[in-house]
Amino acid sequence: MRKWAQDILKKVYLYSITRDLFQNMRTMQRRISWHFKRHFGRVDRTIIADYFAKQEIRKLHIGCGSNVHRDWLNSDIFPHSDNILHLDGTDTFPFANETIDYIFSEHMIEHISYSNGLAMLSETYRVLRNNGKIRISTPNLQFLIDLYGENKSELQIEYIKWATDRFIQSAPYDDAIFVINNFVRDWGHLFIYDEKTLRSSLENAGFSKIIRCDLNESGDEALRNLESEQRMPKGFLKLESITLEGTKVLDS
């Protein structure tokens, strides 16, 4: 938008409304273009059919980004490849009841609202088979609380410096206060969970046998070595994250 137009709109208090309207129009244009490119769902229906035909044990990866796993049905909201399923985690999943064995999602649920997170977990419960498992990794609010504490570890000090240098150019010095404020607002974050709230959300969806796991570790071989630790300096993703696994157990 040209500066003279911006100045006029600011004087009549319409600039923010007009800016949001243009942003919404760009988003709508992107979505329309996207659906044309994917042939209005035909590409995704083919991906699902091919995967289900080849895999007896079916594993759904929600919000994969560039962390694509072999033998998983990798999905994302706007995939970077025609081999990745378009899946909106806030919408009804394109699967019948009890057709998936495992579900994994890493650092995705914090990008949708709390209520949408509950709806997403309910959908995962619906599509999982009896004794199917879900693994959720997400930033841990306790990590931010600890980051603000007095007695910081060397890893926490390194994290604060790295996050400030990389993401917060306006910060006058390295300090947890800038990192925390940025963390809860940047990258589209909408809700940061702690263990209690994430566990409660899983229970609300119907899951039981909920356990906390270390990053990339699990009692189930299918759920090991899934988180993409290499996308951050060593130890940082583990510092940030909480990982819970839950099981769908139907009454006999």
Per-residue pLDDT in tens (0 to 9) along the chain, 252 residues:
566 555 554 454 455 566 666 677 776 676 677 666 765 568 899 999 999 999 999 999 999 999 999 999 999 998 888 899 999 999 999 999 999 999 999 999 999 999 999 999 999 999 999 999 999 999 999 999 999 999 999 999 999 999 999 999 999 999 999 999 999 999 999 999 999 999 999 999 999 999 999 999 999 999 999 999 999 999 999 999 999 999 999 975
Give me the pLDDT at residue 19, please.
Answer: 60
Asked if residue 164 lies in contact with residue 178, where contact means CB atoms within 8 angstroms, the answer is yes
Q: Comparing C-alpha atoms, which of 129, 246, 239, 238 is closest to residue 198?
A: 246
Specify if 186 maps to a domain: yes
69, 121: one domain: yes
Handedness of CA 226, 228, 234, 239 (dihedral sign): negative
Residues 86 and 130 in one domain: yes
**88 and 207 in a common domain:** yes
147 and 213 co-located in one domain: no
Let me know whether 187 and 200 are in one domain: no
Residue 214 has a pLDDT of 97
Do 22 and 47 share a structural domain?
no
CA–CA separation, 144 and 133 (whole Å) = 28
Residue 53 lies in a domain: yes
If asked whether residues 134 and 219 sit together in one domain, one would say yes
CB atoms within 10 A of CB 164: 20
Residue 173 lies in a domain: yes
Q: What pLDDT shows up at residue 5?
A: 55
Number of structural domains (the chain) is 3
Residues 91 and 170 in one domain: no
CA–CA distance, 228 with 249 (Å, rounded to integer) = 29
CA torsion through residues 203, 208, 212, 218, sign: negative
According to the model, what pLDDT value does residue 3 have? 60
* Same domain, yes or no: 214 and 95: yes
Are 120 and 219 found together in one domain? yes
- Buried-state track 82-105, b at ≥16 Cβ within 10 A, e below 16: eebbbbbbeeebbbeeebbbbbbb
41-to-63, 82, 94, 207, 211 alpha-carbon distances in Å: 18, 11, 10, 30, 36
Give the per-residue pLDDT at 46. Answer: 94
Written as six digits, the tokens of 201 are 């959300």
Report the pLDDT value the prediction gives residue 33, as an integer from 0 to 100.
72
Spatial contact of 215 and 137, defined as CB atoms under 8 Å apart? yes
For residue 52, what are the domain limits?
A: 39-138+195-226+239-247
* 14 within a domain of the structure (yes/no): yes
Residue 252 lies in a domain: no
What does pTM read for this prediction?
0.87
Query: What is the reported pLDDT for 37?
Result: 73
Q: Is residue 82 in some structural domain?
A: yes
CATH of the domain at 88: 3.40.50.150
Alpha helices in the chain (DSSP H): 3-11, 15-37, 42-54, 114-127, 141-147, 154-167, 176-183, 195-205, 236-240
In a domain, 233, yes or no: no
If asked whether residues 105 and 174 sit together in one domain, one would say no
pLDDT of residue 16: 59
Which residue type occupies 103?
I
30 found inside a domain:
yes
124/93 Cα distance (integer angstroms): 8
Judgement on whether residues 145 and 78 belong to the same structural domain of the protein: no
SS3 113: coil
